[in-house]
């Protein structure tokens, strides 16, 4: 009886691990979409509202993602406090500082961290070109991630469930 209960628990944990891993993969792709939307929202607010960047980044409705809201708030506070360094350097430091919380890969983080140059350039035309460049790079990364997402989900699900079943067999 105890072996049966233990086997059920181990098999259930294998399925739970598979569901958790698939959720993390899906959440990662969703975060990339949120970053893309954040960049577009900032650009739109910058063009329409003509407010200083610290006011734009401090708006609560800029993004739905809590981690991105935190990063934007940190950047806004640093800009408002007139810390040393340019706005793009402050942007970059904030994203690198919160790397773990954002859960981005190195290439994705590099694109996002450098995207701040699109908001702190010399003129509007230069900013638009830079934003277009970084959005294009981010779209490429999102496309690659979408292609890999299904395969990763299948592998994660299969390995977790089969690993759980193998452990059950070993315990019996």
Contacts of 13 (CB under 8 A, 6+ apart): 164
**Closest of 104, 116, 111, 114 to residue 137, by C-alpha:** 111
CA 30/CA 172 separation, integer angstroms: 41
Q: How would you label 66-99 residue by residue, b for 16+ Cβ within 10 Å and e otherwise?
A: ebbbebbbbbbebbeeeeeeebbebbbbbbeebe
Q: Note the pLDDT of residue 122.
A: 77
Number of domains the chain contains: 1
The Cα diameter of the chain in Å comes to 73
Structure confidence by residue, pLDDT tens digits, 18-61: 888 888 888 888 999 999 998 888 888 887 777 778 888 888 78
Q: Note the pLDDT of residue 62.
A: 83
Q: What is the pTM of this model?
A: 0.79
Range of the domain at 91: 2-171
CA 63/CA 36 separation, integer angstroms: 10
Mean pLDDT, the chain cut into blocks of 10 residues (172 residues total): 79 82 87 90 81 81 86 86 79 88 88 85 83 92 88 83 81 74
Q: How far, in Å, are 58, 158, 162 from residue 172 at the CA level?
A: 58, 21, 15
Q: List Cβ<8 Å contacts ≥24 apart for 144-150.
A: 145/28, 145/29, 145/32, 146/29, 149/25, 149/26, 149/29
Kindly report the average pLDDT of the chain as a whole number. 85
Contact, 119 vs 87, CB < 8 A? yes
Total count of residues recorded for the chain: 172
Contact, 67 vs 98, CB < 8 A? yes
């Amino acid at each position: 009886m105890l072996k049966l209960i233990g086997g059920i628990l181990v098999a259930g944990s294998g399925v739970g691990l598979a569901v958790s891993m698939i959720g993390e993969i899906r959440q990662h792709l969703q975060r990339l979409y949120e970053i893309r939307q954040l960049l577009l929202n900032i650009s739109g607010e910058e063009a329409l509202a003509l407010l200083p960047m610290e006011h734009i980044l401090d708006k609560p409705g800029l993004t739905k993602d809590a981690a991105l809201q935190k990063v934007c708030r940190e950047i806004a506070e640093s800009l408002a406090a007139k810390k040393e360094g340019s706005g793009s350097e402050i942007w970059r430091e904030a994203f690198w500082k919160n790397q773990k919380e954002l859960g981005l890969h190195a290439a994705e983080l590099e694109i996002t961290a450098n995207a701040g140059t699109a908001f702190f350039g010399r003129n509007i035309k230069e900013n638009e070109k830079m934003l277009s460049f970084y959005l294009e790079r981010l779209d490429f990364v999102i496309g690659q991630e979408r292609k890999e997402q299904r395969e990763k989900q299948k592998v994660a699900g299969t390995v977790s469930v089969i690993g759980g079943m193998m452990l059950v067999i070993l315990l019996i």
